[in-house]
Structure 1
């Protein structure tokens, strides 16, 4: 049986005192052992049982990167319930949308975290969304005393998670916090091991076409994918994965579960402070890091201001959002670490594709890769009729297999699958003869220039190769003669290059129709911060490009 409870039990049986998480506290980090996390998960399970949560119910977890978030995932799964993670940055509208779609019976809320009034936001979301008030469980976080549950009651009840009784008092119903004994064979109390067919976790999609959907996955798929990722990333006993991205998002979640499945420890950062994170990675000897190139780029910038040795670092998995992957990879190589591009989404799991270390650069740094499991099937197809295209040709990336979304909480998109059952990602990609997938761009971002389909990344990479360019983004602007490529560029320093020089730089290697019609130099890119990292707001740039065109025509 592939269940989260069995996974955690097996880890405890192997070594109950091994660290599974490192929580940031005021004086540094506090290790949480496997036995301690197991005890907390059992306590969460008991609290959920008392609240009437059972198979098929939803539990919302509104916590930062604390080990409590892991215990809630394991505890909810043991009841047959599924977790929907909420980002601590969510506003009233976003929380209300999740409440409407997921209808959680219980919400775990961080109490007093970072000065945020999360319970106030939750209360307003309940009122505006006009949904029944959930049972609220306030969580104080590592090293803090339990909060007053009464202050968190929105009308549906509230209580804290009570510690389990000591072993002598509970007749063997599980490990107590700090108990180093090996877990006895499944005790059969409360929820016995399930068969893995229940939904276990749901992630919000990017919401690029409106309010996000909530993509839910079965428990057995979660466990199998975590084990496959652990093997692909080389995560094992004694390793430490720096978990910087929120566990509520698919990239942060999959990276953390891979570390757990491999027997490694999760270095949990509840607030992203680049300088503090670099120092923590050095002190705690982090071996792995997963994130976007925006996040890793900020770590690099902090390291340049205060360099430290990162002798244990050996693997980085990057999603290329801002075009900094090659720069970050060169930095990581100074410590002997290998960097690979990755691919994933809320619907197919993060780290579904990644490049093996043997892949030559720069291909290894590009988005995409090989499936981490033979059960993950990928193809590229004509987006109009879903017929597979030949290797080497561009097509829509489609997935089949156990990692594909099993349900959308509150309803889903009927057009998400093809007639023969493949999931449409909406991404343009190229499949190579070796089975590797090279991500090109979102289908909606592709440009038709002079009758040819052109990926903006091709032009962006050429611009980024100029020594004066820090970041480049290319969008399409409509004109009377069709679509023209317009580039927006952030320079390494003011006046380091002119638009004319950058257009000439592009014309040296690109076909004439690919050379940007205009290049605009801006101070910084407009970005949006999501659960999986910051992304450039292409829609905003397209609006700017259209307005600049109107100004030029006027």
Structure 2
């Protein structure tokens, strides 16, 4: 394989952007810091700009490249290269994004670690991923990551390798980190000790090629020879680039890893589908460590847009920067959008530049958000689909989709090289058109490996190579499907398969209801019956029996919940892609004889 036929890499793409438009603003980091901490950045590094009470840090293409080169040179000096894993335990900082490009430069891969992970989750990542380096945040909000890391390391087997810990202090950290405190036995340092990034300087790294795409110019050819590309062995073609933790709803998460070729191809496909224009700005407050935040940020960069990132979700501060920067796109869950809408009502901003939203329906508010943003700003909202194992935005609806489908999960596959089928989960046989079944996927977007896999990864695939999503879906056409719900959430009532969202939608139509969630339980007869949990709107009064009677007016008898319980709030779990209602907890509550309050 020669350099002339190699596919582009993430790092090579960044060099291309920096060479073509060095002052293009790639990342705009929202930093709600005190006035005394707002200052200009050091020469060659990201610079700080002000927007009223909110401070932002901006990284241009040449500045982000300089930061990535600095980190790559450090890794190169430690003999970290192809096959090495870099665990990035940072909030959505510019630093976190730079590590992805730096890892690409030396052929390593990254796994994002959510800053809210507990001891068991961090220990699990260390055991499975076996990172050579862990980049950890210091002084971020009130999170004591050092304590979590220390306890996680204590839980590791004695023969398990410990990572070198590189500590990245927050811009407003109350005190600098002490590297020796973070040493797990393999050494430690801080990013403050690393060479200062030198924007505009040329660097040379062994760019690991990732495929045999004929006619694609190499990074060196695209950048005038600034990067040094060498021929590599065939086993370097499938070098990994990034890994995400899965939801882990039934146990510890798997670590789903994707090749660099598949990653770049997916980001390009999503960027092309979104049809970014010059000057567009993606607003993305989701954690970069999760697949939705990662895909939205990186696809926007590949599409030529700038990206607003936010290390800690603050809807008021986000709206201020959104307005000032003319945000055009947003990707995320309806949970954050509900809070953004609430903050906007308290202080309305002109968001007329907001053209498009890709929304994941975590709390049943997608249709409400779609109506609000369309009425106020003319925004088109479409449902999206994805996961750690197939990437976020693996499908989403075209803007012209019929209204009844547009805000639902699912959509048109992002690339013609992706394929899906609706299959019987018991036999993996494709079901006839019109029948529901499991959404199964195949293509270069599908997980390439599970880090630390001990055989569990094979269970995610059928005998003929299709990925089992665990999601129930409907076929729409050859390239589009509609997501219904998780297979474990579907209710079989009186012999019929029922989507809980159908019942939830009817209950939520009552003016006294704010949120409704329906789960199943085993009734006295041994059959499944529906139980609804409801959070009332502020100041509203209604009984569960009255809501049950309300559902009888429009639902078939077998869909009427056996019980409707009023609760003060829903149990939720905060993940890398947004907050989700914990259906497993509601199922436990449903089996109790009375309200858990």
TM-score by shorter chain over 0.5: yes
Q: Give CA deviations for 1:250-295 in whole Å, capped at 9, x if unaligned.
A: 1110001111111111111000112222222112221111111111
Q: Give CA deviations for 1:118-142 in whole Å, capped at 9, x if unaligned.
A: 2332122112223332111112345
**Match runs of 1:51-200 below 5 Å:** 51-130=78-157, 131-141=160-170, 149-161=179-191, 162-163=194-195, 173=204, 184-188=224-228, 197-200=238-241
How many Å separate the matches in 2 of 1:167 and 1:128? Answer: 42
How many Å separate the matches in 2 of 1:324 and 1:171? Answer: 48
Greater shift, 362-371 or 46-55, is seen at 46-55
How many Å separate the matches in 1 of 2:385 and 2:239? Answer: 25
Does structure 2 retain, via aligned residues, the 8 Å contact 1:51–1:135?
Answer: no
SS at structure 1 position matched to 2:593: helix
Closer/same/farther in 2, CA of residues 369 and 189 from structure 1, 3 Å limit: closer
SS at structure 1 position matched to 2:488: helix
Greater shift, 117-126 or 190-199, is seen at 190-199
**Match runs of 1:406-421 below 5 Å:** 406-411=448-453, 412-421=456-465
Task: Give the TM-score of the pair, scaled to structure 1.
Answer: 0.93
Closer/same/farther in 2, CA of residues 445 and 284 from structure 1, 3 Å limit: same
Q: Give CA deviations for 1:318-341 in whole Å, capped at 9, x if unaligned.
A: 100110011111121111111011
Task: Give the superposition deviation at 1:249.
Answer: 0.5
Closer/same/farther in 2, CA of residues 166 and 500 from structure 1, 3 Å limit: closer
Out of 391, 407, 420, which is 1:378 matched to? 420
User: Residue 340 of structure 1 aligns with which residue?
Assistant: 382
Closer/same/farther in 2, CA of residues 376 and 273 from structure 1, 3 Å limit: same
How many Å separate the matches in 2 of 1:34 and 1:192? Answer: 28
User: Residue 216 of structure 2 aligns with which residue?
Assistant: none
1:24 lines up with 2:30 in the alignment? yes
Greater shift, 138-147 or 474-483, is seen at 138-147
How many Å separate the matches in 2 of 1:550 and 1:285? Answer: 47
1:353 lines up with 2:395 in the alignment? yes
User: Residue 177 of structure 1 aligns with which residue?
Assistant: none
1:542 lines up with 2:574 in the alignment? no
Task: Give the superposition deviation at 1:172.
Answer: 6.0
How many Å separate the matches in 1 of 2:488 and 2:203? Answer: 57
User: Residue 497 of structure 1 aligns with which residue?
Assistant: 542
User: Residue 19 of structure 2 aligns with which residue?
Assistant: 13
**Match runs of 1:241-390 below 5 Å:** 241-333=282-374, 334-390=376-432
Task: Give the superposition deviation at 1:436.
Answer: 2.2
Closer/same/farther in 2, CA of residues 487 and 269 from structure 1, 3 Å limit: same
Closer/same/farther in 2, CA of residues 102 and 504 from structure 1, 3 Å limit: same
Does structure 2 retain, via aligned residues, the 8 Å contact 1:229–1:351?
Answer: yes
How many Å separate the matches in 2 of 1:167 and 1:205? Answer: 36
How many Å separate the matches in 2 of 1:192 and 1:15? Answer: 29
1:452 lines up with 2:493 in the alignment? no
Runs of 4+ in 1 over 6 A off after TM superposition: 143-146, 189-195
How many Å separate the matches in 2 of 1:544 and 1:123? Answer: 35
How many Å separate the matches in 2 of 1:484 and 1:166? Answer: 64
User: Residue 433 of structure 1 aligns with which residue?
Assistant: 477
Task: Give the TM-score of the pair, scaled to structure 2.
Answer: 0.86
Closer/same/farther in 2, CA of residues 550 and 323 from structure 1, 3 Å limit: closer
Q: Give CA deviations for 1:150-202 in whole Å, capped at 9, x if unaligned.
A: 4433321123442368699x87649xxxxxxx954243289999965211110
Structure 2 stretches lacking a partner, 5+ long = 1-6, 39-54, 206-221
User: Residue 48 of structure 2 aligns with which residue?
Assistant: none
User: Residue 394 of structure 1 aligns with which residue?
Assistant: 436
SS at structure 1 position matched to 2:292: helix
Closer/same/farther in 2, CA of residues 189 and 499 from structure 1, 3 Å limit: same
1:486 lines up with 2:531 in the alignment? yes
User: Residue 512 of structure 1 aligns with which residue?
Assistant: 557
How many Å separate the matches in 1 of 2:593 and 2:300? Answer: 48
Q: Give CA deviations for 1:487-526 in whole Å, capped at 9, x if unaligned.
A: 1111213444332332232222211000111111111111
SS at structure 2 position matched to 1:432: strand
How many Å separate the matches in 2 of 1:222 and 1:171? Answer: 25
Q: Give CA deviations for 1:88-111 in whole Å, capped at 9, x if unaligned.
A: 111111100000000001011112
How many Å separate the matches in 1 of 2:481 and 2:99? Answer: 35
Closer/same/farther in 2, CA of residues 89 and 98 from structure 1, 3 Å limit: same
Q: How big is the alpha-carbon RMSD for the aligned residues of Structure 1 and Structure 2? A: 2.4
Closer/same/farther in 2, CA of residues 453 and 31 from structure 1, 3 Å limit: same
Closer/same/farther in 2, CA of residues 209 and 39 from structure 1, 3 Å limit: same
How many Å separate the matches in 2 of 1:438 and 1:406? Answer: 25
Does structure 2 retain, via aligned residues, the 8 Å contact 1:3–1:193?
Answer: no
SS at structure 1 position matched to 2:589: helix
Does structure 1 retain, via aligned residues, the 8 Å contact 2:565–2:595?
Answer: no
How many Å separate the matches in 2 of 1:480 and 1:206? Answer: 32
How many Å separate the matches in 1 of 2:223 and 2:169? Answer: 27
User: Residue 217 of structure 2 aligns with which residue?
Assistant: none
Structure 1 stretches lacking a partner, 5+ long = 175-181
User: Residue 214 of structure 2 aligns with which residue?
Assistant: none
How many Å separate the matches in 1 of 2:576 and 2:595? Answer: 35
Closer/same/farther in 2, CA of residues 264 and 148 from structure 1, 3 Å limit: farther
Task: Give the superposition deviation at 1:434.
Answer: 5.7
